[in-house]
Structure 1
């Protein structure tokens, strides 16, 4: 990492932090191929955050505008989710707070059996009351008058499908829903949203949930506040310097896989080149390689480089809200316009030139890698391959005519600003390519870059201020986490993450179909119907989904093996250093 006088943490202090965490006692040997490595107890792992991203919310239930992988990753250092999934996208009860979840014959009552082995760091057990309290926060933060909105509104039928959540003894929770649902969907997308907070610590205003939400919001980005001292995850928060580093130490009372490391530091990265230099020199132990630097990976002689795909998809959001600037929302509501835009996206060139082959074609709401049974194989063929001339002809057939180089219809011009995340060469290159290719169709684009945290703040609530947004192309777009890959929160008319205000009655019906109970074949076919409709109707514009190119020091082990492809997060409590 390159340090300047303006940084809040000096290089000397950082070195002292790292050295203070290093241990030297041998604890075990680990086979690797034909050799055995000796693990060293202790040590500090320094992990790069995604370029120009800082954590902004540490409370285990994120708000809508703080729902980022970075926030999720650091929250999961401290708090255990009710359920987790493994690398094969299967429920993993061994690592979950829930020991099992059962349903009644009617399919409208779910019984959560908590594993009594889990405790808070103060020695108190994680109980059904903690789960009920967390649900009460989720419910309150989904009300229109709430000071902040829970990110999961619209996912898993929350809150309208949920009738009640009650405790039955210390380790049993009963969830009643209004009508039967596909259990795979409800457990993952509904119950999977629950990451319990300790009721004894956070329940400050039991008779005024708005005050409770205001209290949470006031300290959500203050991880050294005493409220964050009680955790049930593998780590305690230790210290931080804003826009510089965030450090964690092991929770010695953690009931899961104990950390071999004595400290974990998440480091802010101002640029991809700085991160690359830090990986090369060993200042960073783990991070990711941006696509623009893949050609230089041979310089990382002290590191292991591994591509990993995450369960999700990548996309650009056109603002279809009627309040979008210049009437562009009305234009984007036209399928023909969205089809023309999609035909102007050269996915093969993007994969080859920007991602050096480490990306996959993406034409629907689930990318083909990593392989899961939920991907419709019929969508291996892109319904809208790159063809800007065909896109321009389509616009002309629907009444658009080029005036001064810009397609125009009824006084509305296909001229708008694309806001994209800064800090990624691939993101900048992609934006420039889109601008040039769309120009061939008579679509004029102005490019504006913003920090990632500002890009994700755009949505329906400030629809008049933006026309189109693109995520950080060094990490891709949406990841499903524990989620069943249906689109309620994303593309239903009322979905909390429906940033572009897309609305379709048929889409709502198809999404609803993915919730319904049925045989495995029936539920898969409903998923395929939803994916196929999305691929052809384009609620958003689909772009290639890149792999995460994970880089870690050769003497740091367990990084790739424990990587979570569902949530795209690292699990450092499964890492260990080998002796030199």
Structure 2
């Protein structure tokens, strides 16, 4: 089986950026089994004064679909434009607490429903114009709350169906009134702020969703971030320069980021990225478990360190299309919307075998949207489990009316053969391996799976636009609070993957999840709030709309001439302080 799997196409590790609840597990212990070198306790990490200059060489896993941060729904886009924009706040990846960004300070009233933000007076757009309260009010009222502009962010900016009231107090002061107090407000206002003087005409003429496409000249992209995009060649590379107006400085008054230029090659094949990392053409590389036998012996000679960041909030799963508007046969929708059908498939997933083969043992089996990284929510005894059991899987299918034919395949009551097409993004070795394992195991219980790998951007289009798919292997990355997963878990959510944008919940269990999430959003008692989320994720575990498989550990290889490096599952801590010392 392993030899057969190893012959499949190599793949791109690209995951749609969606939000799941998690808490940081920092890299503190050495993995004696693999010899992976890991980082010290984050409390001991203190960035030193660095040296300005140099070029950071990195890799991007694919081309952006858009340069518009509001419309971006996938990491291929956000990886390109993430450094160009700022929110009012940002989250410290070491402490997981909100801290100032475009807002230098804030205060709230006694009720917890009125917040005043004071903007930095030294923050400027790339064109030199100041960032003002007009930009903040425009971003929220005219873009995020605009019914004509689809955005996954919108789901996070409502409390019990009511939006924030955002108004200007003076040039550098903005007031937010929220319907009720709720815990993650300061993280919620970390969304990118956009320039009114550039984008207002596109909002007024209703062309905003198409503005800043990938053919837009980089100089037309106006943000506030530490870097600005200066060149983008589709399929080849992106080049960045330090933003000369960026406000932050180190304790000696030097500008940061210390690194003044970044060149990011667009390399879809991770095997090619691995080769380029070893040869020195890129400075850091997201390590797959299967890379370790090749990388570990080269660490000293090639002068790099491999960090094990521990359990991640990222999840991998299979999801079946339950959308009545999807262009798939109605009898298949009937299968996919049956809980026992989904539970049967879950029992047929050999999670431990998949982890050993696809992840070299460096992952955790999961059955709902909670990973071991979710310290407060992870509870092995609380959530349902579906241990690998092909006999149980087949039994459930027979209970709901499938019968075995003479050819060994199962057929429903109307005589339709139990078969479906399973897709994933091409170039992802782990997902292609998993797809072939699932195909083989499901065949053993009479299910025919047509497994295909397709281009990632095409996959996203099918998932989010035309809904032309039956089943998919895909993944979610994580955020620090379940609230920011509302675009996935609420039935009305744009990224409610199995049946998005519902006008009202199509099932009673989805309605209950909606209720629990809405109640948790305004619950300030942390223990009560956590229990509300646990109840919601228990329902997800019982209903299996997404058949969760594994949560991988995260490994990162970094050249040792990069200093002030402290990677976490949330990104690099104080990444602007990284500098090059050769």
- With structure 2 as the length reference, what TM-score do the two structures score? 0.81
- CA change 1:225–1:424 in 2 (3 A) is closer
State the SS of the aligned residue for 2:449: strand
Q: Counterparts of 1:435 and 1:141 in 2: how far apart (Å)?
A: 43
Q: In 1, are the aligned partners of 2:365 and 2:551 still within 8 Å (CA)?
A: yes
1:544 Cα offset (Å): 0.6
The residue number in structure 2 matching 1:470 is 473
The residue number in structure 2 matching 1:541 is 547
The residue number in structure 1 matching 2:56 is 45
Q: Counterparts of 1:234 and 1:315 in 2: how far apart (Å)?
A: 35
- CA change 1:574–1:413 in 2 (3 A) is farther
Q: Quick check: 1:501 aligned with 2:499?
A: yes
The residue number in structure 1 matching 2:316 is 314
The residue number in structure 1 matching 2:438 is 434
Q: In 2, are the aligned partners of 1:323 and 1:329 still within 8 Å (CA)?
A: no
The residue number in structure 2 matching 1:126 is 131
1:122 Cα offset (Å): 4.0
**Any gaps of 5 or more consecutive residues in structure 1?**
1-32, 472-476
Which residues of 2 match residues 158-557 of structure 1 at below 5 A?
160-162=161-163, 164-177=165-178, 179-184=179-184, 186-188=185-187, 190-192=188-190, 194-205=191-202, 208-211=204-207, 213=208, 217-222=210-215, 224-228=217-221, 230-256=222-248, 258-301=256-299, 302=302, 303-308=304-309, 309-324=311-326, 325-326=328-329, 327-369=331-373, 371-373=374-376, 375-378=377-380, 383-403=385-405, 404-411=407-414, 412-459=416-463, 461-463=465-467, 465-471=468-474, 477-481=475-479, 483-485=481-483, 487-501=485-499, 503=506, 504-557=510-563
Q: In 1, are the aligned partners of 2:238 and 2:265 still within 8 Å (CA)?
A: yes
Q: Counterparts of 1:37 and 1:196 in 2: how far apart (Å)?
A: 30
- CA change 1:441–1:256 in 2 (3 A) is farther
Q: Counterparts of 1:399 and 1:113 in 2: how far apart (Å)?
A: 63
- CA change 1:175–1:86 in 2 (3 A) is same
1:156 Cα offset (Å): 3.6
Tell me the alpha carbon deviations over residues 556-578 of structure 1, each in whole angstroms, 9 at most, x when there is no partner. 2234x1x4533x57975332112
- CA change 1:505–1:388 in 2 (3 A) is same
Q: In 1, are the aligned partners of 2:183 and 2:524 still within 8 Å (CA)?
A: no
- With structure 1 as the length reference, what TM-score do the two structures score? 0.81
Q: Counterparts of 2:123 and 2:375 in 1: how far apart (Å)?
A: 30
Q: Counterparts of 1:58 and 1:482 in 2: how far apart (Å)?
A: 25
State the SS of the aligned residue for 1:173: strand
- CA change 1:235–1:547 in 2 (3 A) is same
**Any gaps of 5 or more consecutive residues in structure 2?**
1-43, 250-255, 501-505
Higher relative contact order by CA 8 Å / sep ≥ 6: 1 or 2? 2
Tell me the alpha carbon deviations over residues 242-274 of structure 1, each in whole angstroms, 9 at most, x when there is no partner. 101001011122112512223111111131221
Q: Counterparts of 2:231 and 2:104 in 1: how far apart (Å)?
A: 33
1:390 Cα offset (Å): 0.8
The residue number in structure 2 matching 1:150 is 151
RMSD: 2.8
State the SS of the aligned residue for 2:307: strand
1:413 Cα offset (Å): 4.0
1:120 Cα offset (Å): 2.6
1:384 Cα offset (Å): 1.2
State the SS of the aligned residue for 2:158: coil
Tell me the alpha carbon deviations over residues 34-55 of structure 1, each in whole angstroms, 9 at most, x when there is no partner. xx999654221111122xx212
Tell me the alpha carbon deviations over residues 152-173 of structure 1, each in whole angstroms, 9 at most, x when there is no partner. 2323428942153211112332
Q: Extract structure 1 runs of 4+ deviating beyond 6 A.
A: none
1:511 Cα offset (Å): 2.1
State the SS of the aligned residue for 1:322: coil
The residue number in structure 2 matching 1:565 is 569
- CA change 1:57–1:481 in 2 (3 A) is farther
- CA change 1:287–1:341 in 2 (3 A) is same
- CA change 1:106–1:259 in 2 (3 A) is closer
- CA change 1:379–1:77 in 2 (3 A) is farther
1:449 Cα offset (Å): 0.6
The residue number in structure 1 matching 2:24 is none
Query: Which region of structure 1 is more displaced relative to structure 2, 512-521 or 445-454?
Result: 512-521
Q: Counterparts of 2:267 and 2:381 in 1: how far apart (Å)?
A: 37
1:455 Cα offset (Å): 1.6
The residue number in structure 2 matching 1:29 is none
The residue number in structure 2 matching 1:18 is none
> What is the aligned residue count?
515
State the SS of the aligned residue for 1:405: coil
- CA change 1:458–1:334 in 2 (3 A) is same
- CA change 1:123–1:516 in 2 (3 A) is same
1:482 Cα offset (Å): 5.5
The residue number in structure 1 matching 2:65 is 56
